[in-house]
Structure 1
Amino acid sequence: MSAPLPTLKAPVVTVLDPDERARVDAAGEGLYRAIHRETVADALEDLKRGRVGAVLLGVVRCGRQLDRRVATVVREFPSVPTVALLGAEPPSAETLLRIGNAGITRLVDVRIPAGWSQLRRILAAEAMRATDRQALACIREELAPVPDETWQFFEALFAASERNDTVQTLALRLQVLPSTLMSRFFRAKLPAPKRYLAYARLLRAARLFEDQGHSVSDVANALDFSSPQSFGRHVQTFLGRSAGEFRREFTSAVMLDRFVTELVRPHRDALRKLRPLALRPGMRALPPTVADRRPAVHRRAS
């Protein structure tokens, strides 16, 4: 079996001192491919020309050339994470203030080993978001034209899906009762929402496993399973494989194909007619704040 592809498909563009570049390359093995630039202006040109997975800026180096271009990178490309790296040379308080004023909210101290793990977690999270976007694009292509309510279901399924671990949390996000959501799928003779949820989580797990540095425990923790054993039972229940077999056999592309082949393509007509959010006369929608009461849980992913 061929080696896994990098987890972050688009390259990471850096503006770093030369001695920091080798360490960034080493930290990104199996996760991202770095393109090193000399100036923020060069990085901005890369952003304008094509897909970029993230931008890494050395605090001291960019502190010496901080200008409107840094703010432009953050403001005009909000979907691309911009991370400031605090390297060996200590920055001045003024430099840190200017970094913050430019709109950069992610600062990683790579002077300590934990900093490199933190950087990998940030970029792995971006890779999962990219996987979500790819899945939604594939589903839209399969179902076009997609009714609004059906599309809202799939958007909720892949929006922050590491926290959509039960039908109850998914239903709250959609502002419907869990029993309503499940009954609509049952009457339409569709797979249960629980299976859609399970496959969405497994797609993200497969994506994380493409980074060879992630263990089963890391992935279980990142996706809010209570333990590696719980993750293993999840894989066994829905795919009939052990966690190790899943890791060896399922890339994100394989898992996405399985999602579409089992849960979308055979059910095109039913999904196009599905109205999972429609309220019966006399029913009231859940208040909008309910879905936001459950705090986000950010666990250590690596």
Structure 2
Amino acid sequence: MTDDIRIGVLLDTTVRGSDDDPRELIAFAVRAERLGFDSVWVNDTLLSPQIEPLTLLAALAPATERVTLGTAVLMPVLRRPLTAARALASVDLLSGGRLIAGLGAGFPGRFGRPLYDLSEVPWERRFARLDETVALWRHLWSGEPSGSFHGEFLHFDALPEPTRTYRPGGPPLWLGGASPTALARTGRDYDGWLPYPPEPAEYENGLVQIRSASSAAGRAPGAVTPALYVTVLIAEDAERGRAELAPYIKGTYGLSLEELSKIQLLLTGTPEDVTSGLRDYLAAGARHIVCRIGTTDPGKRIDQLGHIAELIPGLTLSP
């Protein structure tokens, strides 16, 4: 795309009943690629019956040719670090270097701490544990003899020979999160930023802090890809869109549309409404937009995919 702007779509990987055929996700991803999307993404949780994300990306690797395959976001706490490193390297190899691993450490509430309880990992100092896991992965993917690794949480006297990655140094690792500490970590240690702030000014301010932290760490300008996670639903007008989006939000989060809109970016309304909203974030610095389609209806998801694809030519930095 022009101006180096990328548009992706999140796959709905929840298996809601016996009539759901998860193999249709592959056809959906292929359709997205043919419609001009730059990337397809999967999320990660143990709290709903979903297809395991890295398994799905491995299935998508030979079925697609061009699109980036990403996690939005992967929760490393759910996996043993060495097993996760091998799985990520395998997807990177199978896709010919098209993997981006968006990562998260969870946030307080329904979708955070329970994952740690299920994984039998302490909630405390979760971001430090994530950073150390990333350091281990990069050590394994460095191309140097594996040797040993000793950190605060992870201790390996003799690491096995790792599965190599397609790209030297491994796939890009992006961080989801917008707290001051998350912004500092992103600028210092990660390759991309994937937040969902509800206001463009909040995004712009966060990006300023990331770039400051990146510069202070001696990294090159542009070392961190500024991305954006957004829930989208195209409708006849904004009022009808919000009415259609509300049950999806309630079913997913147990929150009202009004409550979630204070936390996450939600865009609905006419194509012009949504395009205008996305352009505000492009002006604030976003360059890779990941769209979650705000419906659980399979037919509507396909229709919405086409509607969002029609927006792509208009998503440039020009007014």
Q: Which has the higher helix share?
A: 1
TM bin (shorter chain): under 0.3
TM-score by length of 1: 0.28
Q: Which has the higher strand share?
A: 2
TM-score by length of 2: 0.27
